[in-house]
Structure 1
């Protein structure tokens, strides 16, 4: 969640509401002519600075990799492999790994 200035006060906005669209399967600024939205057209990314609602599009080109592979190439680990709607960044997974090994902290805490 980020803040956006309305002219007189700040309001909370998600990255999706601010217009962020992540296109997987192509180089940056390279358009995909057959983009596919995720299941239910909603995607959540878990990172160290919060849980973010974003607009994400998979590549639907003929030579495109699987959705799972596209997410992993973007350093996102999906919560499920079939019709993913949520993913964690590799950096938050590494942070959790370090915390769980060194301090024996559980996922609940």
Structure 2
């Protein structure tokens, strides 16, 4: 590995952990999605994270609302969630389509493979709407409790549990724990 490539790799890792060097702007002149200047948000889970403005960060994450983001304070990156930017998750309608009768929740908790997320979630309150539990199931989440949910677990977590308890993974853990 030549020195310039190594330096590029190390700088990329350092930026991911600590943000741009003091006094160096590095991809923060404009939002990655629009002409907005001095964007301060980046996603920890998106491929090749780039700095974005608030509106573009929300729009980019309508289909993946549980990604964790960071805010550039001017000297360091601070973790936060999309809920803090004012993002709301609307169930019962196609992504991006507003509901005329939203049933708003406060402090709704969702567990997924990235951890626990406090979100602003709106159930559909239209006359033909499915139950709240069914709306969560349609969004690939298990409602807790089923009838009047205040929390949910993403299906992906259940799949992780299945993978962790499968005979093959149990054999791998057994083999590696003996070493």
Give the TM-score, by structure 2 length. Answer: 0.53
Q: Paired residue for 2:103?
A: 36
Larger C-alpha radius of gyration, 1 or 2? Answer: 2
Runs of 4+ in 1 over 6 A off after TM superposition: none
Q: How many residues align?
A: 103
Give the distance between the partners of 1:99 and 1:56, measured in 2 at CA. Answer: 30
Q: Where in structure 2 are there 5+ consecutive unaligned residues?
A: 1-67, 174-179
Name the SS for the 1:12 alignment partner: strand
**What is the aligned counterpart of 1:8 among 50, 69, 75?**
75
Q: Paired residue for 1:95?
A: 160
Q: Where in structure 1 are there 5+ consecutive unaligned residues?
A: none
Q: Which has the higher contact order (CA 8 A, sep 6+)?
A: 1
| Mapped contact 1:76–1:87 kept (Cα < 8 A) | yes
Q: Paired residue for 1:26?
A: 93
Q: What's the offset of the Cα at 1:91? A: 1.0
Root mean square deviation of aligned Cα: 1.9
Q: Paired residue for 1:85?
A: 150
Relative to its length, the structure with more helix (as a share) is 2
